[in-house]
Homo-oligomer: A and B are copies of this chain.
Amino acid sequence: MIIIIQCRDQVGLVADISGILAAAQLNIISMREHVDKAENRFFMRLEVDGVSDEVLLEAQMRQVLPSGAVIQVNPVPDKKVVVMVTKEYHCLADILIRNNFNTLGAQVLCVIGNHDVLQKICERFAVPFFLIPYHEDKEVSEREIIAKIRSYDPDYVVLAKFMRILSPAFVANFPNKVINIHHSFLPAFAGANPYKKAFERGVKLIGATAHFVTDDLDEGPIIAQQIIPVNHSFTVADMVKSGQEIETAVLAKALRLVLNDRVFVYRNKTVVFE
């Protein structure tokens, strides 16, 4: 069993929680905890051996934990995701492969694209693809996308190189549920054309950032980041190509962490128990 707790910090939390588990004869295999002292916030992830009544366990926890505590006993075991794409295949293909071999940690319900370039690869894997191109009136398109997503009711929406900026109104529909891969080492080169900016600045490393999407473009809580070295011989096109490899790797890592319930969000930061 996996148990997730987030609440106000106070003395004795670990004793209270582990006491309940010991009484239920549940052996702790793995315990990760973090206290954000500035925010006075307590985060815990437990893996325990043994079987117990989930509802009872949660009720017992709620009695000893501060009011407002987030407690999840075995949070959503069979997660579902909707993926949004534009034209680049690398992140989507990686997700489809893992989905195909049941190693993604979630089921891909469908893929939504604003171009049809990636329809064929979805068909190869028998995953529904929906083409929703952008109208001049962005709001209309977004309403259509929202409706499509809602019809599938996913746990997460994954932007796998979706190259349109989603409006705050869109994001508000799926709080802490939209995960994006940004093709730079944020906060460097936020916004459009990060590789071009990186080239012009003459940096020696380029990166990728997976983050939750909030109202502020490229400003949401960061889940994972990675970099690779570049040098003077790299053109912008070379950077794009090399960057795609780490974009794929970083998004894969972020999804593995989120889908294994290893990521907590609080304010604009994440606590990640790798």
A4 CB to nearest B CB, Å: 15
Q: Is the CB of A201 within 8 A of B187?
A: yes
Within 8 A of B (CB), among A217-255: 221-227, 231-233, 245, 249, 252
Q: Is A205 an interface residue (CB 8 A)?
A: yes
Q: Which of the candidate stretches A17-25, A108-116, A130-138, A146-154 sits at the interface with the other chain?
A: A17-25
Q: Is the CB of B89 within 8 A of A232?
A: no
Q: Is the CB of B202 within 8 A of A225?
A: no
How many of chain A's residues have a CB under 8 angstroms from any CB in B? 61
User: In whole angstroms, what is the CA distance A25 to B15 when docked?
Assistant: 11
Q: Is the CB of B34 within 8 A of A14?
A: no
Q: Is the CB of B203 within 8 A of A225?
A: yes
Q: Which of the candidate stretches A66-74, A78-86, A174-182, A263-271 sits at the interface with the other chain?
A: A263-271
Are A272 and B121 also in contact (CB < 8 A) when A15-B18, A29-B35, A205-B185 are? no
Residues of A at the B interface (CB closer than 8 Å) are 11-16, 18-19, 21-22, 25-31, 33-37, 89, 93-94, 97, 100-101, 121, 124-125, 185-189, 201-205, 207, 221-227, 231-233, 245, 249, 252, 268-272, 274
- A-B CB contact pairs (8 Å), 23 listed: A11-B25, A11-B27, A12-B22, A15-B15, A15-B18, A15-B21, A16-B22, A18-B19, A28-B35, A31-B33, A124-B124, A186-B203, A187-B201, A187-B203, A201-B222, A202-B221, A204-B222, A204-B224, A231-B274, A232-B269, A232-B271, A245-B249, A249-B249
